[in-house]
Chain A
Amino acid sequence: MSPVLEVHELHKAFGGIKAVNGVSFSVREGEILGIIGPNGCGKSTLFNCILGQLEPTQGTVKLDGRDVTNLRPSALNRLGVSRTFQLLQVFPELSVRENLILAGQEHQGSMLGRLFGARDAGLSGKAAQMIGFFKLGHLADAKAGGLSYGQQKLLDAAMAFMAGPRLVLLDEPAGGVNLTMLGDLKERLRAINAEQGATFVVIEHNMDFVMSLCSRVIVLAEGRMLAEGTPAEVRANPAVIEAYLGH
């Protein structure tokens, strides 16, 4: 079975600084891949290169075998790659429901069809389902800007799944979320993975979260891949211990 995402020899330099220095890996269908590493190891830059937010200096990104390097974020998303951001990124002036409909609408029909078609682009049902799934039912018509941080985080994740993506990249989903919410979030992600067979890549700082969620983990340090393996293997890897304790 071919991998969903293939990253080959990706480089990204800012001036003289090499933030990502030759990273290659692939993501298999249905797995939850974790990418960890100390601050400034190039995790976010790697993400942004894969997602077309930044132009890689060198290297290729393939989705289902198709070269998608340098594709614009919106085009990539419509091919089924979805993401969340490290900092909160919901649309504060739109309601929870509208946020979700927006997350799905560009995957439906044509531009003109969206102008003359239904107001909700036929996504009300799907949005309600997501709202239920992420337990935001009582807030469906509230402005997203008025939600608590944890609730916004859930909404953020829900938006990423709205269009039934092939692959979801989550950038520090656990950051700033309290423990109860964290449990909720992990449980929801697992459920989606199990029910829909969705494939994830998670960047995370929170080791416990990654280790308990992911089936495979990649460790980055100074723009390079340091280790790769199951959570248990990685935890036991001396180079990883060195990198983490050394910092």
Chain B
Amino acid sequence: MSAPATASAARPASRSRLRDGALLALVLGAAILWFAPAGMGRYGTYVLSLWLVMSIAVMGLNLTLGYAGQTSLAQAAFMGLGAYATAILTTTYGVNWYAAFALSGLLTFCIGILLGFPALRVRTHYLAFVTLAFSTLIWLLLRNEQWLTGGVFGIANIRRPGFFGLRLDGALAFHRFLVAVTFILALALWWLVRSPWGRAFMALRENPVRAASLGVDTRAYTLLAFAIGSAYGGFAGALYAPLVEFIDPSPFSLSQSLFLLLMVVAGGSGYLLGPFIGALLGVVLPEWLRFAGSLYLIIFASIVLILLIICPQGVSGLAERGWQALRRGRPAGGAP
């Protein structure tokens, strides 16, 4: 996944400034989303909530793929692990949701490290194939081990958490809870990618051999990129289960992993806000297109296809290019 080589004259690296703009956008976004559902009905609120949950999963994959350059086709599997861990712990064992949330993150973090090991041996598409196999194996486990996971019938009546005695069962209350959690997780990721770790991840993406020669422990960072990205998948799952209040294996299949990958790329891989845009495209756009009746999925896929053809770097890439062109005082042109 080589970065586009821009042979043009030196251009200002506006990334750092953009990222601080990203912080502002995060705060603003959280504020807007806190109040947005007013008068929107439970459906609109639910769709927004679902969008936030998917955004968390996409954020994780964006770290693994967009920042650290490690292709993973298993993010939905991690979401599934998190969702099932939370569902089983809270329904069967009566564990507090917050503890289950933390344990889900820990579990997926550890399994993410394990999945990272092949990445030390093989890269790019070969790595993608290994994660593809892993993703399907997890799905088979979720479906077949009925004694634990409920098998094809899934797990129903998953309770929503409370907050210091406050009940969050209502659509709006839980939505606000999700806004807060998403905001915290996004903030953590914002901090992470700005820290030296983020720099090391990007170095790993752009040139692992050179990075190693500069003392970057590529092994540790590769495993961490997988582990943290997977943990975000686990967190998303731990929120998905109480949001839908029911889980079965279908939302954690290979095709969903591919779909999450689509959201990363379409939103703009390697951009902090890319996952939000990607998940917006993947979750909210199809809902919105429902007015088109039976053709809505064709229209949705066509929009994604055309978007990618016009801008392979995704919406964020397009926005950045437009922004730069605007600042240089000339209209946003086509491809560089």
Direct contact of A and B (CB under 8 A): yes
Which bracket fits the contact residues of A? 35 or more
Q: Is A91 within 8 A of B196, CB to CB?
A: no
Please tell me if B330 contacts chain A, counting CB pairs below 8 Å: no
Q: Which chain B residue has the least Cβ–Cβ distance from A156? A: B210
Against A, the Cβ 8 Å flags (1 = close, 0 = not) of B133-155 are 00000000000000000000000
Q: Is A106 within 8 A of B207, CB to CB?
A: no
Q: Is A107 within 8 A of B210, CB to CB?
A: no
Closest Cβ–Cβ distance, residue B211 to chain A (whole Å): 8
Q: Is A74 within 8 A of B212, CB to CB?
A: yes
Known: A74-B217, A89-B209. A121 touches B6 (CB 8 A): no
Closest Cβ–Cβ distance, residue A47 to chain B (whole Å): 11
Q: Is B196 within 8 A of A92, CB to CB?
A: no
Q: Is B213 within 8 A of A115, CB to CB?
A: no
Which bracket fits the contact residues of B? 35 or more
Q: Is A83 within 8 A of B196, CB to CB?
A: no
Q: Is A121 within 8 A of B196, CB to CB?
A: yes
Please tell me if A233 contacts chain B, counting CB pairs below 8 Å: no
Against A, the Cβ 8 Å flags (1 = close, 0 = not) of B1-31 are 0010110111111011000000000000000
Q: Specify which chain B residues have a CB less than 8 angstroms from the CB of A89 in the assembled complex.
A: 207, 209-210, 213
Q: Is A93 within 8 A of B3, CB to CB?
A: yes
Binding stretch for chain B, among A24-32, A94-102, A177-185: A94-102
Binding stretch for chain B, among A139-147, A190-198, A207-215: A139-147
Q: Which of B209, B211, B213 contacts A82 (CB 8 A)?
A: B213
**Dominant SS at the B interface?**
helix
Closest Cβ–Cβ distance, residue B84 to chain A (whole Å): 29
Q: Which chain B residue has the least Cβ–Cβ distance from A165? A: B215
CA distance A115 to B197 in the complex (A): 6
Q: Which chain B residue has the least Cβ–Cβ distance from A89? A: B210
Binding stretch for chain A, among B198-206, B238-246, B256-264: B198-206
Please tell me if B192 contacts chain A, counting CB pairs below 8 Å: yes
Q: Is A73 within 8 A of B206, CB to CB?
A: no
Listed A/B pairs (15) with beta-carbon separation below 8 Å:
A53-B209, A74-B213, A74-B214, A92-B6, A93-B15, A94-B13, A101-B196, A101-B199, A103-B214, A115-B192, A116-B195, A141-B12, A162-B214, A163-B214, A163-B215
6 further interface pairs, Cβ-Cβ under 8 Å (given A102-B199, A114-B195): A53-B213, A90-B207, A93-B3, A101-B196, A142-B10, A142-B12
